[in-house]
Amino acid sequence: MEQKIEKMKALVATLNDAAKAYYQEDREIMSNYEYDALYDQLLALEKETGTVLSNSPSVHVGYEVLSELPKEAHESPMLSLDKTKDVEALKAWLGDHKGSLSWKLDGLTIVLTYQNGVLAKAVTRGNGEIGEVITNNARVFKNLPHRISYNGELILRGEAVIKYSDFKKINDQIEDVDARYKNPRNLCSGSVRQLNNEITAKRNVHFFAFTLVRADGVDFHNSRICQMEWLKSLGFDIVEYKTVTRENIDEAVQYFSSHIEKNDVPSDGLVLTYDNIEYSRSLGTTAKFPRDSMAFKWADETAQTHLLQVEWSASRTGLINPVAVFEPVELEGTTVSRASVHNISIIESLKLGIGDTIEVYKANMIIPQIARNLTESGNLPIPQVCPVCGSPTRIQQVNDTKSLYCTDPDCPAKKIKAYTLFVSRDAFNIEGLSEATLEKFVQKGFIHEFADIFRLNRFKDTITQMDGFGEKSYANLEESIKKARKIILPKFIYSLGIPGVGLANARLICKAFSQDLTAIENAEAEAFTNIPGIGQVIADSVVEFFASEKHRTMVEHLLQEVQIEKEAEEDNDTAVSGKTFVITGSLNHFANRGALKALIESKGGKVAGSVSSKTDYLINNDSTSTSSKNKKARELNIPIMTEEEFIEFMGQ
């Protein structure tokens, strides 16, 4: 008995740590599969011993909220749902009753209160008893009615979510791959609980109602389904559901199962609820679960396979991530052969070794994961050197998690930003090399310096087999690289990523040195400060860059791959020459701001991002606008001109 109690204590501690990470810190330290397995172990031990520990997750739901947002107790506890993975158990639970089967959405549960037809209060689920008041944030949810036709007190519950499509758009706007959000739920949780609802508004949070708590004076004919349709008639989006009986529940489950991968709204299962309101109320609750609803989670389809290898890939933070490669298996209708293992701690807990028999599954039927290791050889070697640069590695422990890092500050994997600038439109303009693609190529050891980008044909066979690449996309990339082999000197200088040297400054420098790269490489700082518009900081930056033997070698290698062409002579003795412009608002005559910026710079002008005392002109087609840039320009007596006026000015 004593050993079982100790086992229970260990399980409670592990499960509570996982729940704290998930609910309070918006991160995951174990998969749902692992959590469910441990939770079931705990329930079995509690039943066997007759003992339930005070801090057991079978008694308590969630964690206390840690936030500066106001807190408020719920009128009635918001309990979690009992769950099953067996359709037959759902049938037995439903019996002869009618019910509704709906998505179990994976976001943040919110309680809304409307009074006199207007949203009066929004509170998060929190720990089930006390939540956070997020009314201002709820008012900027994308699909929440600001006013409804019902004027009594309306209380309803639903899920705030960020759709997969919006999640992708938000992540795509974040250049730093390591800074991107892990999943829609984490992003939604942080977005809903912002202190500044302007941030919430930008995150495209949607709300889907799933339960009506109170609406006095309305006859719902004793039907929960009728309640849902009434909420829909008021303008609320409701969670998708199917009306079910014991006879058709198999068909309904199959419907949701077949639509999960195409569903834009994150979900992690289904919810079955009795339709009969009075019957539901008569059932009451247990200490943890309501008796009128049951959660269904798909039984994870698992398959046994053998671990072939573990690939290690370095990221820009120096973190080296392990990915398990195993013999291909069929899961949920697709073939999988890879799964992220995340860190050293998980490798150790699974006791992984090459050749081990492992059991794999798809979390939420989407993301491949290792469920368990059946042979646990533990013979997997941890790399002593970085797979990208060959420098020594070290294991660091952060927040009880051990991870592997590269120790070399100059590791190519840490220089993704430099490569991204190098291939950008204002530099070599190589299409098909996104930041994510560059990171993959660096991790695989294809790119160690700029010149290697022009040698990617050495890895054609490997690249065409990579996810997202094929013969056609590779051919397009090769064509783009071919075009990029000829470049003008200002863009070449800009592409090197010299601190402080933008394209406009590069043009000024190249013009002053008569397009002579050798002269630029060997010049003293004074020669640069004599150029109008070039100060001491930029001068020192250029001199320091070319004083580095490593940089000179890098440039030498690059010149073996590309040809610098002479830029067409422009008559820069115009009204634009030497002037600084700021561009704002929409354009009519130019394709985009970049096109107008390129024209100004070709005429010897500069384009800045913000209005300051150094600005000569602000270009804005709406000269009467009350925008911050217009206001600043007026304060500083800076002329505001339209495109037409600029074109006329340029011809002076």
Active site residues: 104
- In residues, how long is the chain? 652
Alpha-carbon distance of 86 to 299, in angstroms, equals: 7
Quick check: 186 and 26 in contact, CB under 8 A? yes
Nearest Cα residue to 602 out of 521, 516, 495, 488: 488
Other Cβ atoms within 10 Å of 374 Cβ, number: 10
Nearest Cα residue to 122 out of 152, 159, 79: 159
Q: What are phi and psi of 373, to 5 degrees?
A: -115, 120
Structure tokens at 79: 């309990």
Alpha-carbon distance of 610 to 633, in angstroms, equals: 10
Quick check: 547 and 498 in contact, CB under 8 A? no
Nearest Cα residue to 112 out of 148, 75, 155, 149: 155
Quick check: 393 and 405 in contact, CB under 8 A? yes
Quick check: 101 and 270 in contact, CB under 8 A? yes
Nearest Cα residue to 343 out of 294, 412, 401: 401
The pairs formed by 407-410 with CB atoms below 8 angstroms and a separation of 24 or more are 407/318
Q: End-to-end alpha-carbon separation of the chain, Å?
A: 95
Integer CA distances (angstroms), 239 to 88, 110, 228, 236, 267, in order: 24, 14, 9, 10, 11
Other Cβ atoms within 10 Å of 152 Cβ, number: 13
Alpha-carbon distance of 628 to 630, in angstroms, equals: 5
